[in-house]
Amino acid sequence: MPADDAFDATLSADALDELEARGPILPPGAVLAERYEVLELLGQGAMGEVYRVHDRDLDEPVALKRLRHASGEHAVERFLAEVKLSRRVTHRHVARTFDVGVHEGRPFLTMELLEGQTLEAVLEARGRLPEEEALPIAEAILEGLGAAHDAEVVHRDLKPANVMVTEDGRVVLSDFGIARALHGPTLTHQAQLVGTPLYMAPEQVRGEPVDHRADLYAFGVMLFEMLTGRSPFQGDSPVAIALARLSNEPPDPRSLAPVSDGTAGAVLRCMARAPADRFEDVAALQDALRGGGCELPPPPKLDEQSLAVLPFGYRGDADSDYLGEALAEELVDVLGRVRGLRMVAFAATIGRGPQAEPRETAAALDVAHVVHGTVQRRGPRVRITVRLVAADGTQRWTERFEGVVEDVFALQEEMSQRIAEALRLELGTVRHAEAPREAIELYFRARRSFLVDGYDEVAGPLGELETCIALAPGFTPAYALHAAASARSWFTSVLRQSHGEAGPAAERSVARALERAPEHPDTHLARGILALQRIDLPEAARALAHAVELAPTLALAHLYLGQLQLEAGQVAQAESRLRAAMSLDPTIAGMAQLHLARIHFWRGDAEGFAAQLEGVRQLSEGSPLQVARVRATAWSGEPRWAEAARADLGQLGPGLAHLVVLADYALGEHAPAAVDAQVEAFLETVDNARFAAFVRQILVELHTHRDAPERALAHLEKLVEGGLADLDWLLRCPTFAELREHPLFRDAIRQVRVRARSVIDLDVARTATWSS
C-alpha cells in the first residue's frame, strides 16, 4: 500500500492548528497494543503516519494509521468518527477497517493492506486512459461510492489518491478521514474548508453544507481527468483552481480527447455547478453510463486538417526508381500519427501516379490539401522537393530536403520524418488564414531562432512572438511557441544573470498557452520544460510524452525526453532518442550533442566525447560548450579542457564571470571556501531549481577533483534535499570513484534511485523513438 494521501494537506487551517508538531516515527519492530508489530513506514502527512504492520493475532500483514498527538479533543474525535463511518461501509470496492485503539496517547486504526498503486499514480504514468479502460474503473468507484451513500456516508474527499488499483485489478475506495454521516453530528465548523481543492464541489468551496452530490461532482472531475489527462480547470494554485469552478463551466472533454457523446454528457452533468443539476444519486449516474450516457449537442468541431500524399516523381538511376513511391508511403505513415490530421490511405492515391493534378485529386478524395513532390538521385546524394497545394490549386508551401544514401531504409525514414514535421508546422499556420503574412513570417523566424540559438539565448524570439501575437491575437501557435521559449529562457537568462522576472513570466506564458492553445504540441513541450525547471520530473515526463503523442516528429520533445531518460539511468534508450531528435531536426544538434558527449566520456570513449564537443563548437562557442569543457577537466584530470574554456569565456563578456571562477577552480586556483562563498552568493539570487542543481552538480565534481570531499558531500546533501534525480550522474561520473564508498553518497544513490523510478515507470510506449 503506497503512502496514504488521507493525511495530506486537505484539512482546514483551523483543524491543523489542533495538531502539535510531528512526533517520532515508529521504528521497525515497535509493537502497538501488544498486537501490531511495525514492519515499515508506508507514508506520512499532516494528520499522521501509515505503517505496514504484522497483526500477531491474525498472523497477517495489515495497514495501520496512527494519528499525530493532538492538543485538543477535536482531532481525536474526528479520527474515531472515521472508524465508525468506515465500519458502516462494507463492499468489495471499499477498503475494510478492522480495529481501533490508542497507543501512548495516540489513537490508531488498522485496515486492509492493499498492494498496488493509486489511481493518481496510474494517471501520472499514463497521462490519460482510453474510454474503454476508464469506464470499468469508474464503474467500480461508483459501486463503492454507492455502498457508502447507502450507509448515509459522504466521502467529501474523493480523488485519485484515495482510489487504489490493486495488483489483481481490484479497484478500492479508501480514506473516509474527513467524511461524515449524513445525519451524524457535525465535527467541523461549517465555514471550514474541508477537502482537496482540485476536486471540491462549488458548494464545498463556498463553505456551504454538502450532501452526496458533492461526491458526484468529485467523481466527475476524476472521470474527466481519466479521459483527458488534465484537470478541467486551470490556475496558478489549487485554491485558484477551486475558485475557478465558481464562475466558469468545465470544458467539453470531447474537445480534448476522443470521448463518446454520452460519456462526455455524463461527465459534464456530474460537474454541474448547482447540486440540483447533477444526477440524483449514484444509481442514476450508473444507469446513464451503462445506457450510453447523456445526450449532448454535437461535439465542438475539431481543428482537423485533411491531407492526401501523391506518389513522388523520380529522376535518377533506374535501380532506385522505387524511392518516390516508397518515400510518399512512409510519409503517409508518419503523418498519420499526428493528432488532428486526417490522412487518406496511400492506396487511394497510388493509382493516380505522380503526374496527377493536385486540385482534381483534392476534389476526388475530399481533402483540403495535397502533398506532391519529386525525388532526384545523383550517385549517393538525394534531393527531395515537396509541395503543399490547397484544394483550390494554390501552392501553400514548398521546401527542399537533401540527404546521402547510405542505408536506403534509414534515409526513407529520416526524410519522411523531417518532411512531416515541416508540413505539420505549415499546416498549423494554414488553419489561421486570417493571420497577416507578417505575423506568420515573424512566427517562423522566431521558431528558427528558438531552435538554432539553443541554450545560449532565447530572449530574441520572445520579442518577435509578442509582436506576432499583437498582429494576430487569434494565431494560437504563437502562444504555444512563446510559452516554450519563455520556459527555456528561465534557465538561459539565469546563466547570463539576467533572469529577473523570467520565472514568473514563464509561468504566465505557459498558463496562457494552456488556455489559448491547449492541444498544441508546443504548449505541452513548454509545460514539460517548465516542470524540468522546477525539478518536477513526473510532470515533465507526462507533458513531454503528451507533446510527442500530439506530434510524433517534435524534435525538442524527444530531446528533453532523452535527457530525462539519461538522468534516470536508461542510457541506451536516451542515446537512441537523442540521435532521433538530431535526425528529426538537425538545427538542435548542438543541444543533443552536449548530452551525447557525456555518454561517450562516461563510457570511456574519449574520442567520441571530443567529436561530440567539436560538433557543438562548430555550431556555437557559447557558455554550454565552456561548461562541458570545465566539467571534462574534473572528469579526466586533464587541464587542457578548462584552459580552453577559460580562454573562450574571456571573449563572451562579463556576464559569465561566475563560469570563469569555476574554470579557474578546475585549474587549481582559488581556495575551496572562497569558491563556495562566491557561488552561494550567486545562488541566493537564483530562483530556478534546475539551474541551482546544475551548478551544485558541477561543484560536487570540482570539489572532488580538488580533493575537498567534505565540501562535495555538503553540496550533494543539498542536491538530494532539492530533488536531485540524476541517477546516471551518481552511478557513472568517473570523478566519484572513491566518493561512492562514503555512507552519505550511498544514501544519496538510494534516494535518487527511487526518484528515477518516477521516470522509468512511466508508460513511454507512445513516445518510442523512430529508430526503435
Residue 97: predicted pLDDT: 85
Rounded Cα distance between 237 and 243, Å, is: 10
Residues in the chain: 772
Lowest mean pLDDT among 112-121, 470-479, 608-617, 619-628: 619-628
Rounded Cα distance between 372 and 384, Å, is: 11
Which residue intervals of the chain bear CATH 3.40.50.10610? 305-427
- Checking phi first, is residue 342 left (phi over 0); if not, alpha (psi -120 to 50) or beta? beta
Residue 522 pairs in a beta bridge with none
Superfamily of domain 5-111: Phosphorylase Kinase; domain 1 (3.30.200.20)
3-state DSSP of 252-311 = CHHHCCCCCHHHHHHHHHHCCCCHHHCCCCHHHHHHHHHCCCCCCCCCCCCCCEEEEECC
Rounded Cα distance between 681 and 104, Å, is: 47
Summarize pLDDT for 420-461 with one digit per residue, the tens: 777 677 666 656 666 787 888 888 888 878 876 554 454 568
Lowest mean pLDDT among 158-172, 354-368, 570-584, 740-754: 354-368
Residue 427: predicted pLDDT: 65
What residues contact 13, with CB distance under 8 A and at least 6 apart?
Answer: none
Residue 74 pLDDT level (bands cut at 50, 70, 90)? low
* For residue 653, pLDDT beyond 70: no
Rounded Cα distance between 258 and 264, Å, is: 10
Residue 360: predicted pLDDT: 84
- The cell for 175 is 480514506
Q: Specify the CATH number of the domain 117-290.
A: 1.10.510.10
Name the more confident of 314 and 125: 314
Residue 15: predicted pLDDT: 34
* For residue 410, pLDDT beyond 60: yes
State the chain's maximal CA–CA distance in angstroms.
Answer: 89
* For residue 396, pLDDT beyond 70: yes
- Short-list 494, 444, 492, 488, CA closest to 464: 444
Residue 670, Cβ density class (10 Å: 0-12 exposed, 13-18 middle, ≥19 buried): middle
Lowest mean pLDDT among 201-205, 247-251, 716-720, 723-727: 247-251
Classified as helix, coil or strand, 166 is strand
* For residue 470, pLDDT beyond 80: yes
Which residue intervals of the chain bear CATH 1.10.510.10? 117-290
Residue indicated by cell numbers 532521433: 580
Residue 510: predicted pLDDT: 94
Residue 82: predicted pLDDT: 63
* For residue 666, pLDDT beyond 90: yes
Pick the CATH number of 305-427 from 3.40.50.10610, 1.10.3720.10, 3.90.1150.10, 3.50.50.60: 3.40.50.10610
* For residue 705, pLDDT beyond 90: yes
Rounded Cα distance between 3 and 1, Å, is: 7
Name the more confident of 105 and 687: 687
Rounded Cα distance between 680 and 686, Å, is: 10
Share of the chain above pLDDT 70, in %: 80
Residue 20: predicted pLDDT: 37
Name the more confident of 341 and 164: 164
Residue 643: predicted pLDDT: 94
Residue 157: predicted pLDDT: 85
Residue 659: predicted pLDDT: 84
Average pLDDT over residues 275-290: 93
Summarize pLDDT for 297-334 with one digit per residue, the tens: 554 443 457 788 888 888 888 777 878 887 887 787 77
User: How high does pLDDT run on average in the chain?
Assistant: 81
Phi/psi of residue 770, nearest 5 degrees: -65, -30
Which residue intervals of the chain bear CATH 3.30.200.20? 5-111
Summarize pLDDT for 341-351 with one digit per residue, the tens: 777 777 777 76
pTM: 0.57
Residue 164 pLDDT level (bands cut at 50, 70, 90)? very high
- Report the chain's C-alpha Rg in angstroms: 29
Average pLDDT over residues 731-750: 93
Name the more confident of 53 and 539: 53
Residue 46: predicted pLDDT: 55
Within 10 angstroms of residue 364's Cβ, the number of other Cβ atoms is 15
- Short-list 285, 29, 10, 18, CA closest to 135: 285
Average pLDDT over residues 693-716: 95
Catalytic sites, residue numbers: 157
Residue 704: predicted pLDDT: 95
- The cell for 402 is 537533401
Residue 720, Cβ density class (10 Å: 0-12 exposed, 13-18 middle, ≥19 buried): buried
Average pLDDT over residues 375-387: 85
- Short-list 440, 508, 452, CA closest to 476: 440
Residue 24: predicted pLDDT: 74
- Short-list 307, 208, 499, 177, CA closest to 200: 208
Name the more confident of 208 and 52: 52
Please check whether residue 196 is in contact with residue 157, taking contact to mean a CB–CB distance below 8 angstroms: yes
- The cell for 501 is 522576472
* For residue 489, pLDDT beyond 60: yes
Residue indicated by cell numbers 574534473: 634
Residue 637: predicted pLDDT: 93
Phi/psi of residue 328, nearest 5 degrees: -65, -40
Summarize pLDDT for 244-258 with one digit per residue, the tens: 788 778 888 887 788
